Structure 1
């Protein structure tokens, strides 16, 4: 069947806007989440690709172009968004958050040169899917999400009969398309887009003429899809480089840089390696951890490139403007090296989920040991359900911690699943992101982690626990608190686990 024509899609667009605006009055946010969760989850798609033993190919781009056409847009329309495109293994979400925060401060202090409307698209979310699509530094409201969701849902249904692929896009692709629909409808003129997986074949890579592109720190992750070496992964990530924008990156492991440079040259641009300025210190940025300095430096350079491309008359040294540093200091990015006290417990939340990022988290936690080492109970809550070797991940975390001292950091360890509540359900907005296609027995991962801990970090056996749900893990934490004068809890290994903990704590606060 021939690909849907732009003229036909425009016809449906004009028709559906009126009908969708009426129909969304009867449709709720909960309806939208139910529809969203009916789509093929990322986990199922990744499992299918692993089983086939193939790396994603151009078919994904062909399908995304058709979906975009079906909702009424051409790829050239995305150029109106002035895209900042960010790929990488570690830190790409934090880099996006820094960038958005800097733009927000520029809006306050220099409204003439600032973007009028800042969009940001990231993944995954912690509490609500609305977090993925932000306008001017804030998640879209449930009302805005619902309105645009059903506009797009209806357009896809109305154009299915003329489409090569009549099915709706999978979960992540749908949200990518939705972000673009929201941004184009709301007049966004600076869109910060985080790549999902890889870069070359990622659904976000329909962007033809970004203003700025950047690859953050690289490591081994999603090797079944992206390759087993840093060089192969670098090739995939650098697929976002385009001739319309300089190719930025940070300091990388040696084998990555030649590949990034080659890919930049192939795309008709040049590679620029960004180092943190000497005068930029960890105390000057709002996200903890020395590893955030390279993310902050990339964000500074991306903003600098953006401003000079969109406002050529801007001073050459704008990167030194106080608004830039205010943006770095005032950034908000929950679940990343986040420490706070809740209900009398000192918590540390970090969603690190690769060996390199967990090692960095461990080192950061060790640098903060004075804040928690005297706690009578120090509890680790850990899970990583989707990686092949979760034991390697927890070993990396402890390696990072012990690089700055050999004291035993934890008195208790709880290995949890990502299932939110004990009735075996997820919070509806966490259902798809936590979908598990693992065919191993229930609690296999948790039992493997507990067994390794008993053998390698000896302590009382009743201090090592397995929690079938996040809710039960939190009950274990509060039972430990009841027996202790003061308690410190570190939640790490997965952003999905971190998000589940936030949801359970939020629910408890209202009971």
Structure 2
């Protein structure tokens, strides 16, 4: 039986001073918060445990999440006050959220009477700092605010543990989801863009009962051990966010996905609406590179349109053709996705694609930008994917896309790195939990497999293939390859965690 905490108990603990009688929030630092956060079991460990037990997420996980929400002082009905825009999908859901936030911020400036007063966004994973996951008005929450609200929630969970069905603290992703909601409530957010973590139906974020807008981005095969081994099974999970309160939006999908999405929308007593990129929307009009981003931008445009007209029914503005919308699409910031930078005289391309479909799209995009690096004498690929079952299939997908324009600019060097940040075998503390490696195979098994495949299929490159035990060493290898040259191009892809590690080592701020 699910044990609800009494109202008196919740009120009692909410009135406690943060940190109890012996410690105040001022005595706790951001570093303390990260240490506490990293003490929670990471997503990677949770997934491994579930695989080992042959168990998939179910209603029990939602019951636990509901109790956690109660323990920090909220009811599920409170989430409706956030006016949630809920986004699931396999590919592009983070980019879609970023477009949505950017558009809303422009509308906020141009039409303050119809726009939300405070825009919150919760996404995952982060590139460099965990603060990136929880944003207020387009900016990561400050370390000071993160620390303040982190320990408020930490102490509420500590104080209510004795009366809880499950006294353990929530795992990493669940904790951050709850923290995002706590921040949004505390900071007066009235438009919350929430990205699903994994799946949808049983995802931690799916306590939301009455979202304003729901959308499923492009679907593909990913997290199959948890979500199912077919597109149909995955579509069922993702569409679990559809609710009667909101039109069910999606983009163009593979054929086997659409019937499932439509069925799920009907079950939730709502209507499925398929959004296509309008003919007037061109790649040069949006701030994120890649033709595949047009579908994400179009979905964001429709989500904003739905949001404004549902929260402000009297609004008569045609947002699909308003300059504020186009300014939002153009000025969007979403680092680590088809991002090109020149750092210390070396051209870098960062993209966190990590599924076959996404990596192929990244390869196609990179091939279309060849004029930007065609003169490079040395073209280096840094690649890793530590958590997927078949890293070779992933690199093949990337090369398939890259070579779709011809093989006239092959990579001259390949570096296969781990996600460990530094040579002393430590991670940047804020990357530790998301980068935890849980398999028991040799530490460089993935890298050795990739290097072996490259040697067999890219003849004449044996001396140009390197294995980097850490991201820091991968960067050192790039500088050695570059030598005295001023004409080197480096592509980093296969993992957002690898991309984030590169940002840290290069001291390149993820948000500027």
Q: Report the TM-score range of the alignment, normalised by the length of the smaller protein.
A: over 0.9
Stretch deviating more after TM superposition (171-180 or 12-21):
12-21
Q: 1:147 maps to which residue?
A: 148
Does structure 2 conserve the Cα–Cα contact (< 8 Å) formed by 1:21 and 1:147? no
Q: 1:188 maps to which residue?
A: 189
Q: 1:168 maps to which residue?
A: 169
Q: 2:419 maps to which residue?
A: 418
Deviation, 1:241, is: 0.2
Deviation, 1:50, is: 0.9
Q: 1:465 maps to which residue?
A: 466
Q: Distance in 2 between matches of 1:202 and 1:409?
A: 41
5 Å-filtered alignment, 1:447-462, equals 447-462=448-463
Q: 1:504 maps to which residue?
A: 505
Q: 3-state SS of the aligned residue for 1:220?
A: coil
Does structure 1 conserve the Cα–Cα contact (< 8 Å) formed by 2:19 and 2:151? no
Deviation, 1:380, is: 0.2
5 Å-filtered alignment, 1:243-262, equals 243-262=244-263
Does structure 2 conserve the Cα–Cα contact (< 8 Å) formed by 1:16 and 1:155? no
5 Å-filtered alignment, 1:328-339, equals 328-339=329-340
What is the RMSD of the two structures over their aligned residues, measured on CA atoms? 1.4
Deviation, 1:300, is: 0.2
Does structure 2 conserve the Cα–Cα contact (< 8 Å) formed by 1:199 and 1:240? yes
Q: Distance in 1 between matches of 2:201 and 2:360?
A: 27
Q: Distance in 1 between matches of 2:124 and 2:17?
A: 28
Q: Distance in 1 between matches of 2:22 and 2:135?
A: 21
Q: 2:361 maps to which residue?
A: 360
Q: 2:351 maps to which residue?
A: 350
Deviation, 1:406, is: 2.4
Aligned residues: 508
Does structure 1 conserve the Cα–Cα contact (< 8 Å) formed by 2:412 and 2:464? yes
Deviation, 1:413, is: 0.2
Q: 3-state SS of the aligned residue for 1:119?
A: strand
Deviation, 1:408, is: 4.3
Q: 3-state SS of the aligned residue for 1:346?
A: strand
Call closer, same or farther: CA 1:156–1:20 in 2, change over 3 Å. Answer: farther
Q: 3-state SS of the aligned residue for 2:405?
A: coil
Q: Distance in 1 between matches of 2:124 and 2:200?
A: 14
Q: Distance in 2 between matches of 1:113 and 1:35?
A: 40
Call closer, same or farther: CA 1:365–1:169 in 2, change over 3 Å. Answer: same
Deviation, 1:18, is: 9.0
Deviation, 1:507, is: 7.9
Q: 3-state SS of the aligned residue for 2:434?
A: coil
Q: Distance in 1 between matches of 2:493 and 2:331?
A: 23
Call closer, same or farther: CA 1:21–1:399 in 2, change over 3 Å. Answer: farther
Q: 1:107 maps to which residue?
A: 108
Deviation, 1:438, is: 1.1
Q: 1:374 maps to which residue?
A: 375
Q: Distance in 2 between matches of 1:6 and 1:88?
A: 37
Q: 2:139 maps to which residue?
A: 138
Q: Distance in 2 between matches of 1:21 and 1:340?
A: 48
Q: Distance in 2 between matches of 1:253 and 1:20?
A: 57
Does structure 2 conserve the Cα–Cα contact (< 8 Å) formed by 1:481 and 1:487? yes
Deviation, 1:61, is: 0.2
Q: 2:295 maps to which residue?
A: 294
Q: 3-state SS of the aligned residue for 1:403?
A: helix
Q: 1:404 maps to which residue?
A: 405
Q: Distance in 2 between matches of 1:443 and 1:82?
A: 45
Q: 1:121 maps to which residue?
A: 122
Stretch deviating more after TM superposition (48-57 or 65-74):
48-57
Does structure 2 conserve the Cα–Cα contact (< 8 Å) formed by 1:377 and 1:486? yes
Cα deviation, 1:26-52, whole Å, max 9, x if unaligned, reads 000000000000001100000011111
Q: Distance in 1 between matches of 2:228 and 2:460?
A: 39
Q: 1:204 maps to which residue?
A: 205
Does structure 1 conserve the Cα–Cα contact (< 8 Å) formed by 2:18 and 2:24? no
Does structure 2 conserve the Cα–Cα contact (< 8 Å) formed by 1:102 and 1:323? yes
Deviation, 1:224, is: 0.4
Q: 1:38 maps to which residue?
A: 39
Q: 3-state SS of the aligned residue for 1:159?
A: helix
Does structure 1 conserve the Cα–Cα contact (< 8 Å) formed by 2:276 and 2:295? yes
Q: 3-state SS of the aligned residue for 1:213?
A: strand
Q: 3-state SS of the aligned residue for 2:426?
A: coil
Call closer, same or farther: CA 1:15–1:351 in 2, change over 3 Å. Answer: same
Q: 2:98 maps to which residue?
A: 97
What TM-score results when the alignment is normalised by the length of structure 2? 0.97
Q: 2:435 maps to which residue?
A: 434
Q: 3-state SS of the aligned residue for 1:49?
A: helix
Q: 1:226 maps to which residue?
A: 227
Q: 1:217 maps to which residue?
A: 218
- The 4+ residue runs of structure 1 with deviation greater than 3 A are 16-22
Structure 1 residue ranges without an equivalent (≥5): none
Q: 3-state SS of the aligned residue for 2:10?
A: helix
Q: 3-state SS of the aligned residue for 2:27?
A: coil
Does structure 2 conserve the Cα–Cα contact (< 8 Å) formed by 1:376 and 1:485? no
Does structure 2 conserve the Cα–Cα contact (< 8 Å) formed by 1:214 and 1:249? yes
Q: Distance in 1 between matches of 2:111 and 2:363?
A: 39
Q: Distance in 1 between matches of 2:110 and 2:410?
A: 44
Q: 1:272 maps to which residue?
A: 273
Cα deviation, 1:201-228, whole Å, max 9, x if unaligned, reads 0000000000000000000000000000
What TM-score results when the alignment is normalised by the length of structure 1? 0.98
Q: 2:491 maps to which residue?
A: 490
Q: 1:235 maps to which residue?
A: 236
Does structure 1 conserve the Cα–Cα contact (< 8 Å) formed by 2:339 and 2:351? yes
Structure 2 residue ranges without an equivalent (≥5): none
